[in-house]
Structures are given as C-alpha cells and as structure tokens.
Amino acid sequence: LYLQPVQDLTLNTNVSVTQYQFLVADSDTNRLATWVPRLTDALRREPALADVTSDLQAQGLAASVTLDRATGARFSITPETVDNLLYDSFGQRQISTIYTQSNQYRVILEAEPSLQNTPEALDRLYLAASGSGAASTSGPTRDPSSGLVPMSTVTRMTASTAPLLITHVAQFPASTISFNVAPGYSLGAATDAIERVEKSLHLPATMQTSFQGTAAVFAGSMSNEAWLILAALVAVYIVLGVLYESFIHPLTILSTLPSAAIGALLVLWV
C-alpha cells in the first residue's frame, strides 16, 4: 500500500504508486527482466530514496512447446500444424459471423475455459495426422479410427516465466521505477543517487534511461540553471547600463552580488 499527497500541479503523464518516476527501456524484454530488478534492489539501498518499486511483472507462468521434428515427420505434422492447433485452442480464433436484423455476433473457436487454466490442458489436445508416415510407427501411436495423434506425443513442453504486462514507450519495451524522496533529502540528491547507481551497475549499452514527469522537469531545469543565471546577470547589466548610461557602474553594482549572496545564505542558516 502506497500513499502520496495530492499535488496542486501534476506533471506526470502516467500513474504510478509514488511521486517520481525513472524509466528504463530496451528492445529486449529479457534484458529488462534481468536488469530492472538489479537496479531496483540497488536503489532501495540508497538513503536518499524511499518506497522504490517497479511496474515490471515478469513472474507469470508460461509454457514453451517444442516440436520433435523427427517424430512429427513420421506423422506428417509440421510446426504450422502445431501453431494452428494452439491458436484454435487458446487464441480465440474468429471462424464466422452470425448476422441478425438487429446485431451481428462473432463466432469464436477456443477450448473450454475450464481447460485453459493449467498446462495439463495441452495433454488433451490432438493433432490431425496424415500421410503414409503415420502408419509406420513403433513408439508413438495414434488413434487409427480418427487419425488423431496426442500433442504430447510429438511435442515437448517446458515451463518458464514470462511478463504479465509489457509497457511500451516510444515503441520500445520499458519499465518504470517509481520512488519518493526520503525525509531530510532533496530531489536533487535523489536524482544524483540514481545516476550514480546507474553508472556503478554498468547497464548494457542498448538500455535507455530517463526521468519522467516531475523528476524530468527538475532534471531539465537543473541542467539549464547555469545558463539561466548567466542570462539573468546579462539582463541586469543591460538594465543598469541603460539606467546609469555607463559601462562601468553596472559592474560595480554586480560585484556586490557574491557578498550579498553569502550574507543571505548565512541568514537562512541561522
């Protein structure tokens, strides 16, 4: 459970569990699944950051089906046959449309919903065998009355994990790391900590990182701060030059800024 105060001005374009966001993008989802948890764990150890979490959901169960081509050839079963069977069973293939006077209804072909929840459902699927190769078998057998071969006879299933949700940013798979600023630290200290951790982990060159929302606006303003100060000094010099009709007097006045700034900081400190 994450709680965050309501902001009067919201700059974030997407919803997250915390106030600030850091985006990690890569063309390979496997690299994201490997490096985002490492980066998240490293950021959680930083004292300037709090409530660090990511939207990466890579712990979904998946089943990889591999065709035994030698056995499949004996039954004249090709990878396309297996693909079509899986699509017919789990892909909600539209096979027809029923038209009525008031509406139209799509006819969907799929396995029973009760048989789609476990990998054992694959053991109940049968492939249509054809050709002379189906008759000459010593190990795997088929039903001679129907010409159907159990899919488990010609395929091998491997259980693995897969992402439940893949977020795309600028057409690339991405994951958002959300964080808050720890008490006693500034947003600048938090962004510096993230950049330091990112460099220490030596992320792959293909991975792209950037701040999002409020953090991105802050990082952009900090990068232009020196130019803004210089532009302000030039503007003040021009105004004072026009006021005093001199090129020297504005410099005399501007020379007092360092001592005035030090005095102001001392007053704030006390």
Provide the residue type at 223 as one letter.
S
Domain match, 108 and 192 both: no
Domain match, 141 and 213 both: no
Token digits of residue 18: 């915390």
Domain match, 65 and 158 both: yes
- Is 180 in a helix, a strand, or coil? strand
86 inside domain: yes
Domain match, 154 and 117 both: yes
Alpha helices in the chain (DSSP H): 29-44, 69-74, 79-90, 151-154, 187-201, 214-223, 225-244, 249-254, 257-269
Domain match, 110 and 135 both: yes
Domain match, 34 and 125 both: no
Digit-coded pLDDT (tens) for 127-175: 887 643 333 333 345 554 457 888 888 888 888 877 787 788 888 888 8
Percent of the chain with pLDDT over 90: 13
212 inside domain: yes
Instruction: List phi, psi (to 5°) of 64.
Output: -95, 125
pLDDT for res 146? 57
pLDDT for res 212? 83
Give me the chain's average pLDDT, please.
Answer: 82
Digit-coded pLDDT (tens) for 214-247: 777 777 766 677 788 888 889 988 998 888 888 8
104 inside domain: yes
pLDDT for res 107? 92
167 inside domain: no
CATH number of the domain encompassing residue 41:
3.30.70.1440
Q: How many structural domains compose the chain?
A: 3
Digit-coded pLDDT (tens) for 176-188: 888 888 998 888 8
pLDDT for res 138? 35
* Confidence at 97, pLDDT banded by 50, 70, 90: very high
Nearest to 24 by CA among 268, 211, 189, 246: 211
Percent of the chain with pLDDT over 70: 86
Residue with tokens 């010609």: 154
Q: What is the rounded CA–CA span in Å between residue 239 and residue 227? A: 18
Lowest mean pLDDT among 58-67, 222-231, 245-254: 222-231
Task: Look up the domain containing 212 and give its range.
Answer: 20-58+174-223
